[in-house]
A = this chain, B = another copy of it.
Amino acid sequence: MRKKQDRPEEELDLIGIPAIADRTVAAPEDIPETTVKRLPRYFRCLRELFNRDVMKVSSKELSEYTGVSASQLRQDLKYFGGAGQCGYGYNVKRLYSAVSERMGVAKKYTAVMIGAGKLGRSLCESMLFEQRGIWVKGIFDASDDVIGKTVGENTVRNVSELCGFCLENRIDIAVFCIPAADEEELLGIIRGAGIRGIWNFSPCEIAREKAGVPVVNICTGDSLMYLQYEMSKAETEKK
């Protein structure tokens, strides 16, 4: 495996994402929220096609791969400029580049994990960050049981060092994997650290207005409830 630490920072790019300047890509504020929510799905599919050296793809094929209807898909991808051509299909490289660009995947963000429990370690050792151009530069915990242990390419540090570390290393994203009493407690941990985005797996949600930066709260249990609902509904329909 490539070791990121061995490479100088300017080389830390997303190997494989072609850099194509496309002036016809819509501005972020012009892309509807519903389209944005589907972009990661397109991104994953286009990455797969690009890595398999597929040059073009029709909206029908993309629709099959992504499970999004072909007409919906054409509507969504209109925001990504001249990548599609009637009767020819989409240029995979152009479209992949445009979607990655708009998703901010090409931005080389840095992140710290806060919490080195099972979930924190599991996320840290996954390919989730690297695949999206994010460099996890540190992992922090308050417990002496884990401080000093190795997780992926990092050694767990004391959370008391967090702010200094973030400022020094210009960390963009804080990933919370700790239980907490409330959002005040979570926000207190990163106060003054210059964090620009929060990915929150803690059980208490953080409001964007309170954080002052973009926040994505992951409520894993909500999706389990949604499954329960769908199962319950399916059983009602059978009766």
Chain A positions within 8 Å of B, measured between CB atoms, are 27-29, 36-37, 39-41, 43-44, 67, 102-105, 107, 109, 117-119, 121-123, 125, 128-129, 131-132, 134, 172-173, 196-199, 205, 207, 213-216, 218-237
Given contacts A103-B232, A229-B103, contact A128 B224 (CB under 8 A): yes
Contact indicator A229/B39 (Cβ below 8 Å) = yes
* A231 partner, pick from B197, B228, B234, beta carbons under 8 A: B197
Contact indicator B224/A28 (Cβ below 8 Å) = no
Contact indicator A221/B40 (Cβ below 8 Å) = yes
Contact indicator A229/B41 (Cβ below 8 Å) = no
Contact indicator B230/A214 (Cβ below 8 Å) = yes
Q: A147 CA to B83 CA in the complex, in Å?
A: 50
Contact indicator A199/B218 (Cβ below 8 Å) = no
* A225 partner, pick from B105, B220, B232, B236, beta carbons under 8 A: B105
Residues of chain B within 8 A (CB-CB) of A36 are 226, 229
Given contacts A27-B236, A234-B213, contact A37 B226 (CB under 8 A): yes
Tell me the nearest residue of chain B to A237, going by C-beta: B29
Could you tell me the distance in whole angstroms from the C-beta of A26 to the nearest C-beta in chain B?
A: 12
Residues of chain B within 8 A (CB-CB) of A44 are 219, 221-222
Could you tell me the distance in whole angstroms from the C-beta of A98 to the nearest C-beta in chain B?
A: 13
Residues of chain B within 8 A (CB-CB) of A216 are 223-224, 226-227, 230
Residues of chain B within 8 A (CB-CB) of A197 are 227-228, 230-231
Contact indicator A221/B132 (Cβ below 8 Å) = yes
Contact indicator B214/A199 (Cβ below 8 Å) = no
Other than the given A44-B222, A132-B221, A218-B220, 13 more pairs (CB < 8 A) read A29-B236, A41-B219, A41-B222, A67-B207, A102-B229, A104-B233, A105-B228, A118-B119, A128-B220, A134-B228, A213-B234, A214-B234, A216-B230
